[in-house]
Amino acid sequence: MTPEEQPLSFCIALCSRQRPKLLRRCLASLDALVIPRNVTVSLLVVENNEIPLYQEIIAGFGQNFPLTHVLEPRAGLTFARNKILDTVEEMQVDWLGGVDDDQIVDQQWLVQMVAAIRQFPDTKNFVGDWRRKLREDTPFWYPALRQPKNLPTGALLREGATTNTAIHSSVFSASGMGLRFDLAYNFLGGEDVDFGTQYMNKGGKIRFAAGARTDEEIHDTRASLTARMLRVSVGDFILAKVRHRRKSVIFAWGWTLQILYRSTVFGLGNMLLAGMAFPFYRRWAMKRFGMGLKFFAKIRGLFWYYTGKNPKLYQVIDGS
């Protein structure tokens, strides 16, 4: 039997808490997926809430694929993501597909993800092409959002995420690696980066799946400069936490010192250039100013981590 003829079972799962409009939009995009040959598909929605509120939405889908709706009453992304792993393990499918409820999934997502899986049988974790779209009224000088690099399918990555992913069941099953998301990240975020680091520490590979695309429109609550800088700070806070929990002390401190050095040099450098150029090239100067703010936000995130601050970014629901 050729790799293309090998049957695969896939459960595409997401968790959601009190965001009915976003969930409905995401499920509509999943409902339009093109299904590759010899692949069976099911959907899973884990509702992270004390009482179920999504029954009416769920009832509108499931005609194309079996759809399971499960409640996780304990608040927090880590609890919800672990509920996904527990439920999918009980389903005994081959692969877990992970997307977020605020994403629109491209019709060819599963075709591209399965093609990568068949092409690289040595890999149990694939990350797709996650694109974020800014509001049209976003000021030009705001630091650019991090986007996937222009990589070919199969390119090895240094970290994973559940935002757009496919994970083989052996990674989280009791008979395999048995990995779970760490509760230390419950309202912070970054539990997926920690999960990917655990996986790689056990010798696993993470590869990029070009063409397996999801699109996310930035919510109003995430569009402001303050919100953008907060997420930059929390991002470096998370990376420091992951490295200290999963890497050697020497590696963790070495990473921190080089980030501090680079961010200080580039932060001050961009601010200096912005001040000098502003009277003559205002647009260019404002771009440098925005970049300087981003580097200082990275320093702030590291300062938070080493002083014991715990920014609970996901304790407040944003989006609807």
Residue 11 has pLDDT above 70, yes or no: yes
What's the pLDDT band for 150 if we cut at 50, 70, 90? confident
Q: Compute the half-sphere exposure of residue 212: CA atoms within 13 Å on the CB side of its CA.
A: 26
- Distance in angstroms (rounded) separating the CA atoms of residues 254 and 276: 33
Query: For position 12, what pLDDT does the model report?
Result: 98
Residue 122 has pLDDT above 90, yes or no: yes
- Distance in angstroms (rounded) separating the CA atoms of residues 217 and 204: 31
Burial of 280 per CB tally in 10 Å (0-12, 13-18, 19+) = exposed
220 phi, psi to nearest 5 deg: -55, -40
SS3 content of the chain, % helix, strand, coil (to 5): 45, 20, 35
Q: Please count the residues of the chain.
A: 320
The owner of tokens 């390119």 is 155
Query: For position 144, what pLDDT does the model report?
Result: 78
Residue 110 has pLDDT above 90, yes or no: yes
What's the pLDDT band for 3 if we cut at 50, 70, 90? low
Domain boundaries, the chain: 3-218, 225-315
Mean pLDDT of 141-147: 79
Mean pLDDT of 51-64: 91
Q: Which of 191, 123, 117, 206 is closest to 159 using CA atoms?
A: 206
More confident residue, 124 or 6: 124
Burial of 2 per CB tally in 10 Å (0-12, 13-18, 19+) = exposed
Residue 147 has pLDDT above 70, yes or no: no
Residue 149 has pLDDT above 70, yes or no: no
The reported pTM is 0.93
Percent of the chain with pLDDT over 90: 82
Region of poorest pLDDT, from 19-23, 145-149, 251-255: 145-149
CATH class of segment(s) 3-218:
alpha beta
Mean pLDDT of 43-49: 97
Query: For position 132, what pLDDT does the model report?
Result: 86
Q: Which of 296, 244, 310 is closest to 267 using CA atoms?
A: 296
What's the pLDDT band for 1 if we cut at 50, 70, 90? low
- Distance in angstroms (rounded) separating the CA atoms of residues 33 and 13: 14
Residue 44 has pLDDT above 70, yes or no: yes
- Distance in angstroms (rounded) separating the CA atoms of residues 270 and 290: 8
Residues 111-120: tens digit of each pLDDT: 999 999 999 9
Query: For position 317, what pLDDT does the model report?
Result: 73
What's the pLDDT band for 206 if we cut at 50, 70, 90? very high
As a whole number, the mean pLDDT across the chain is 93
